[in-house]
Amino acid sequence: MVQVSKGGIYLQETEPPAVSDTVACQIIGTIQSPYLRLEECPSRHKDKPHLPCTIRLALDFAPGLVGLKAGGRAFVLYWFHLARRDMVQLPERAGVRDAPVGVFSLRTPPRPNPIAAADVDILAVRNTEIDVLGLDCLNGTPLLDIKNSRT
């Protein structure tokens, strides 16, 4: 439920979470992309250009888009929901790397918390949708957050 006050628009208050060793994130929307398989994503092919994607927010979060404009940039956080979560180091691989390397030094999807981030160009903003250029995720990827970009 949405609450409107002089101070802004807020979702209904809930109790703050207890401190623990886990974190829960709320999915605020989904990303509609032309990429249906990992091999199609531009991050996996350096010579492939990014194609436009549409970010679709849940209706309750639409007021959060106010202030974003076509021609601007945004920082998008999303969840690689199909990625493995048990990988912490990749082995050496002929022609790619001559020594093992940890996932924290890479942007690879498999990792303990498959959070992805991208600076994107905003192409259009309307109602609950934003058309962007610069995402490298599969169609249906869960959206975690959008922030104003500093670049």
- Say what the pLDDT of residue 67 is: 95
Q: Is residue 44 part of a domain?
A: yes
What is the DSSP pairing of strand 115-126 with strand 129-133? antiparallel
Which residue range(s) make up the domain with 119?
A: 25-82+101-148
At 55, is the pLDDT very low, low, confident or very high (cuts 50, 70, 90)?
Answer: very high
Separation CA 14–CA 94 (nearest Å):
52
Q: Is the pLDDT of residue 3 over 80?
A: no
Least confident of 28-32, 98-102, 112-116, 138-142: 98-102
Examine residue 19 and state whether it is found in any structural domain, yes or no. no
The number of CA neighbours under 13 Å toward the Cβ of 2 is 10
Q: Which residues pair with 9 in a beta bridge?
A: 4
CA distance 33 to 66: 23
Total-model pTM: 0.82
pLDDT over 80 at 120, yes or no: yes
Q: Contact 148/74 with Cβ under 8 angstroms?
A: yes
Query: Is residue 89 a part of any domain in this protein?
Result: no
Query: Does residue 115 form part of some domain?
Result: yes
- Which pLDDT belongs to residue 107? 82
56-100 residue pLDDT tens: 999 999 999 999 999 999 999 999 999 888 888 888 888 878 888
The answer to whether position 91 is within a domain reads no
For a pLDDT cut of 90, what percent of the chain falls above it? 51
| pLDDT digits 0-9 by tens, 5-20 | 555 555 666 676 677 7
CA distance 2 to 13: 9
Q: Is 120 part of a structural domain of the chain?
A: yes
Q: Calculate the alpha carbon distances from 86 to 82, 110, 114 in Å.
A: 12, 7, 10
Query: Domain holding 136: CATH number?
Result: 2.40.30.70
Number of structural domains, the chain?
Answer: 1
137 in any annotated domain: yes
For residue 109, being part of any structural domain is answered with yes
